[in-house]
Amino acid sequence: MRKKIIIVFALFVTALTGCSPKGNQEVITDEVTIIAPSSIGGGWDLTARAIQDVLMSENLIDEDIRVLNKIGAGGELGWKYTKQQKDHVLAINSSLLITNNLLSQSKITYKDFTPIAILATEWEVVIVPKDSSISSAKSLMENLKETPHDYKIGVSPRLGNDDQLSFVLASKQVGVQPEELDFFIYENSAQVVDALLKKQIDVATMTLAEAKEYYDLNQVKLLVISSDDRLKELPEIPTWSEEGIELVFEHWRGIMGPPNMTKDEIQFWDMTFEKMVRTEEWQQTLQKYMWKDYYMNSSETSKFLEEQGKMYEDLMNVNGED
């Protein structure tokens, strides 16, 4: 009887092994590179380095991981590089991958890559210098309605991203059209804030994680946040709805690989990122940057990107519809 139990157990283990993806050494056989298509300190870079830290500290991958910053063209240079790779290269993405194409700024689309995961979302904020006469988002919008060209608005790294789009959606509710707004484009959020503090621009729109360090240094005022409710970490910052504008806007970030990744590679990364987002260290990372957990695996991400493509097409009126 004992012998029979041992044989059955052995067959069970063999069956499980046969259904499992190949081990790390077989699937990932060399250093992994995560492309951050922006300069150090930007949102894509923060995401890439957070992933690097958690995967390595939690021993979720056997090989070394490096972050490579490929800067330029609103993410396109980094994504073009990723598209040309074959082995163990991933890239951070966001909605700009979709909107670049919709605005005819790039021929690359999300369909040119292997979707791996959506990881987190974060909120958008509007900031002004600490000594600015602008006291609230409501007064800013009222002033823009009266004299839109009197205000220079900073954004990075390219028009069409969620920073700009969230601001445009808010301003349209008070009757200010996108073409009336004067946006000034910078390579990264640090350059935007530098221009803001030097009074080269009057207002800036960016993600909360990018703005918070300057807020903590008492260099800028956070006028408004795109969340549905005030954050417990920043209870003093009002939402758009409190300023009379019905807008809730989440900015997502994910990760993708080159085209033609194997099923084993996709399955490996599905398992790895699923483990990563469950770790205490990743949860602490979300809290640190005030990101919101939004994990989706590769198949869910594929559907999500298709839905987002349709949504952004409608939002941006690329067909010329009202």
pLDDT of res. 82: 97
The residue range of the domain holding 225 is 123-250
Mean pLDDT of the chain: 90
pLDDT of res. 26: 65
pTM, 2 dp? 0.86
Distance (Å, whole) CA 35 – CA 69: 6
Are 89 and 99 in the same domain? Answer: yes
Are 235 and 134 in the same domain? Answer: yes
Mean pLDDT across the stretch 261-287?
Answer: 97
Are 138 and 206 in the same domain? Answer: yes
pLDDT digits (tens, 9 = 90+) for 6-60: 444 444 444 444 444 444 446 787 899 999 999 898 899 999 999 999 999 999 9
Query: Shortest CA distance to 245 belongs to which of 309, 173, 317?
Result: 173
pLDDT digits (tens, 9 = 90+) for 62-97: 999 999 999 988 899 999 999 999 889 999 999 999
CB atoms inside a 10 Å sphere around CB 101: 22
- Report how far apart, in Å, the C-alpha atoms of 79 and of each of 89, 131, 238 are: 11, 39, 36
Residue 251 banded pLDDT, cuts 50, 70, 90 = very high
Residue 321 banded pLDDT, cuts 50, 70, 90 = very low
Domain count of the fold of the chain:
2
pLDDT digits (tens, 9 = 90+) for 145-156: 999 999 999 999
* Domain of residue 218, CATH code: 3.40.190.10
Are 71 and 103 in the same domain? Answer: yes
Are 128 and 211 in the same domain? Answer: yes
* Domain of residue 102, CATH code: 3.40.190.150
In a domain, 10, yes or no: no
Are 44 and 95 in the same domain? Answer: yes
**Cβ 253 vs Cβ 93: under 8 Å:** yes
Tokens linked to 127: 């900031």
In a domain, 5, yes or no: no
- Report how far apart, in Å, the C-alpha atoms of 298 and of each of 21, 22, 66, 82, 255 are: 15, 18, 22, 17, 9
> Which segments of the chain are extended strands (E)?
32-36, 65-69, 89-94, 114-129, 152-155, 182-185, 203-207, 220-225, 250-257, 292-296
Query: Shortest CA distance to 220 belongs to which of 202, 238, 235, 232?
Result: 202
In whole angstroms, what separates CA 17 from the centre of its chain?
A: 36
Q: Percent of the chain scored above 70 by pLDDT?
A: 90
| Look-up of token digits 């890239």 | 91
